[in-house]
Structure 1
Amino acid sequence: MEGKVIPAITPDRTYENWKTLGTVLFGFMTALIFVVLQMATMTFIVVSRKPELTAPQLQDMLLAAQSDGFVISLTTIVTMIVCCAIVAGVIKLKRGSNLADYLAIKSVPTRALIAWLGILIALIAASDLVSLYLGRPLVPSFMTSTYATAQPVWLLWVALVFAAPVFEEIFFRGFLYKGFASGFIGPMGSVILIAGLWAAIHTQYDAYDMGTIFITGVALGLARMRTGSLLVPLAMHATANIVANAEVAILSWYSVT
């Protein structure tokens, strides 16, 4: 009598990723390309508007362009496309890696997503209340001037609600988190470190607003850590920018009526 053949049990496949050193080196490279591309795109837009500018005039125009809604919109979209491709390329350079696994691109239960979005909304409400209590404006002056100079306005919405969250989450809580969390600082250390790095790039804001961004970054990092999915902090980031843009739009409308 023939015996039954019992299939061998194979463990779930594990994929490779860059560890701390590789993450730091490739992360720095990506950040450097981001800054250079941002400046190049900004310069191209300014020069295309007024090609006869002298060097001092160009410098003044570039400074003014940092709060120009159209320039910011186009620059954000361009850097998102290029830098996301760079991150994907860096990931594929690691032998044995898997893009979806590396970036934690996987679905989560709807209940979990709603819960984290609820936490974000509560955090935004608390931040706004504290700002009002301290006599601070709900909307930073940088955002007001950016929105006022955004022509067309829909392009700014695309840039801030889609392009910015996509690149920043893929880079910070996707690529950087994967590498740092598997290193000596671990997942929780990665959440704190990455929130600090994320807040530090928002140099257009003052210390108070950067502190608020840091706290938001911790919440996004915790969502990434607890759910194991990048889609949750991505949705939270996009939602936060929707709320911020809506506040600017409403306050701008009231200021002219």
Structure 2
Amino acid sequence: MDSLNPEHPPLIMTPADHAPRVWKFFGTALWGLLIFVAMFVGQVGAILLLAALRGLPIDMASIQSVGREPAALALSVIMGLPATLAAVWLAIRIKKASFVDYLALHWPSWKQLLFGVVGLILVVLAWETMSRSLGREATPGFMTDLLQSGRDKGAAILLLFAFSVAAPMSEEVLARGFLYRGWSASFLRVPGAIILSSLVWTVVHLQYDMYFLAEVFTIGLWFGYMRHRANSLWLTIVLHALNNMTAVVLTMWLGS
């Protein structure tokens, strides 16, 4: 037997062989910042390109002017996706880890999907009820204006794709994908990773007031829980997409 043959000693697995190739707390935080910067550069780059194609000066006034247009804003959100994916791929590649496994890009079961959808509906309905009781809008006013303006200017489909596909994928890959994966393997463990990644995701939405930020945070907690429960980033991407698509459709076509 090989185990008794000195020329063929048995293979001994050291603890290092089993160590997951994962960025831990500080590595994940630093790379998370770089990924966010990449997303931002991709989004602003789209606006700058549009301004340049129109012969406008490349300055803050042009960026603000072009960026207020519904179609331009949609294109900006869409262009943030490839930039985000490229930065995440690089971070994972450096660790020589599997992109699919690192981000848990596994399809959930139908039961997990149904459970996630039901929970999301309950969270959203709770906030909807609270908003009505407080006499608040269920959707931020500026988003209502943007979406309805985009509908009137023929940018409805582009906006729908941007907010229902590109944005959920970019944000979930960053928050529940990369950040959660690294932080859950650190001293934060799963509960801390869910909370901190939800906080980061909330910060990405600073265009909202504190009330809507609180709603974003609670939805993020649900997404984080489902990411852990199902071990599937595709699940949170689908939930995020359904949430955004419902809001966009209701706002653009039903004025709600």
TM-score after normalising by structure 1: 0.85
Q: Which residue of 1 aligns with 2:162?
A: 159
CA contact (8 A) 1:67 1:142 kept: no
Deviation of the 1:220 alpha carbon: 0.4
Structure 1, unaligned stretches of length 5 or more?
1-7
Query: What per-residue deviation string (whole Å, max 9, x for no partner) do you get for residues 152-197 of structure 1?
Result: 2101111111111111111110111110000011111010111111
- Structure 1 residues 141 and 61: alpha-carbon distance in aligned structure 2, compared to 1, 3 A threshold: farther
Query: Given the alignment of the two structures, is residue 172 of structure 1 paired with residue 143 of structure 2, yes or no?
Result: no
Task: Provide the rounded CA distance (Å) in 1 between the counterparts of 2:65 and 2:209.
Answer: 18
Q: Which residue of 2 aligns with 1:231?
A: 234
Task: Provide the rounded CA distance (Å) in 1 between the counterparts of 2:51 and 2:171.
Answer: 25
Query: Given the alignment of the two structures, is residue 128 of structure 1 paired with residue 124 of structure 2, yes or no?
Result: no
Residue identity (%): 28
Task: Provide the rounded CA distance (Å) in 1 between the counterparts of 2:215 and 2:50.
Answer: 31
User: How do 1:33-112 residues align onto structure 2 when only pairs under 5 Å count?
Assistant: 33-49=38-54, 51-53=55-57, 58-95=59-96, 97-112=97-112
Task: Provide the rounded CA distance (Å) in 1 between the counterparts of 2:144 and 2:90.
Answer: 36
Deviation of the 1:229 alpha carbon: 1.0
Deviation of the 1:82 alpha carbon: 2.0
Query: What per-residue deviation string (whole Å, max 9, x for no partner) do you get for residues 31-81 of structure 1?
Result: 1222233222223223433x245x7xx534433544432122101111101
Task: Provide the rounded CA distance (Å) in 1 between the counterparts of 2:129 and 2:65.
Answer: 31
Query: Given the alignment of the two structures, is residue 115 of structure 1 paired with residue 118 of structure 2, yes or no?
Result: no
Task: Provide the rounded CA distance (Å) in 1 between the counterparts of 2:194 and 2:122.
Answer: 20
Task: Provide the rounded CA distance (Å) in 2 between the counterparts of 1:20 and 1:73.
Answer: 33
Q: Give the paired residue count.
A: 238
Task: Provide the rounded CA distance (Å) in 1 between the counterparts of 2:244 and 2:66.
Answer: 21
- Structure 1 residues 248 and 146: alpha-carbon distance in aligned structure 2, compared to 1, 3 A threshold: same
Structure 2, unaligned stretches of length 5 or more?
1-10
Q: Single out whichever of 29-38 and 170-179 deviates more from structure 2.
A: 29-38
Tell me which amino acid in the other structure corresponds to 1:221. G
- Structure 1 residues 144 and 65: alpha-carbon distance in aligned structure 2, compared to 1, 3 A threshold: farther
Task: Provide the rounded CA distance (Å) in 2 between the counterparts of 1:99 and 1:108.
Answer: 17
Task: Provide the rounded CA distance (Å) in 2 between the counterparts of 1:248 and 1:67.
Answer: 18
RMSD value, Cα:
2.1
Tell me which amino acid in the other structure corresponds to 2:91. V
Tell me which amino acid in the other structure corresponds to 1:145. D
Q: Which residue of 2 aligns with 1:246?
A: 249
Q: Does the residue aligned with 2:253 lie in a helix, a strand or coil?
A: helix
